[in-house]
Amino acid sequence: MKDPLTSFPGYSLRRAANAASAELAQRLSVVGLRQSDASLLMLVEANPGVTASALGRRLDIQRANMVPILKRLEDAGLITRAPIDGKSQGLALTEAGRRTLTEAFQVIEQFERELIERIPAEHRAHLLPALDAIWR
């Protein structure tokens, strides 16, 4: 079949992201996490006491959509919320959260390693700067 889409970087970008995303989601499900869970746990670990709003801004997740994610992670015993003042709450990992994140981190590092290895060596170093130029 003729495929005029093959010449569009934007199309390949979407397809590559979808393929990688589906693969990582499947691997993370073994640890019981979604991608947004894992990225959120990483940011909380690196920034203990961070607020939900600040996390949402950094991850481009709207405040309203943070609510069910945080509720799920709290129900799973992975994070705690502690009042900072009357309207803000500081997030932190529980011990179980740290353990789960360690597992997730291994899954993700293995995934990233394999992702990079799929790319011909001469293109490898260019991918991250090219991608970052697109969205940052």
Partner DNA sequence: TATTGTTATACTCTATAACTATA
Partner DNA sequence: TATAGTTATAGAGTATAACAATA
Residue 3: name its binding partner from a second copy, DNA, none (Cβ under 5 to 8 Å by kind): a second copy
Is the Cβ–Cβ distance between 95 and 80 less than 8 Å?
A: no
- If one asks whether residue 12 binds DNA (CB under 7 A), the answer comes out as no
**Closer of 2 and 75 to a second copy (Cβ):** 2
Dihedral over Cα of 120, 122, 125, 130: its sign: negative
- If one asks whether residue 54 binds DNA (CB under 7 A), the answer comes out as yes
Task: List phi, psi (to 5°) of 84.
Answer: -90, -50
- For the chain, how big is the Rg over CA atoms in Å? 18
In angstroms, the CA 82 to CA 115 distance is: 38
- If one asks whether residue 62 binds DNA (CB under 7 A), the answer comes out as yes
Binding site for a second copy (CB under 8 A): 1-6, 8-21, 24, 35, 39, 42-43, 45-47, 50, 54, 58, 60, 108, 111-112, 115-116, 118-120, 122-124, 126-135
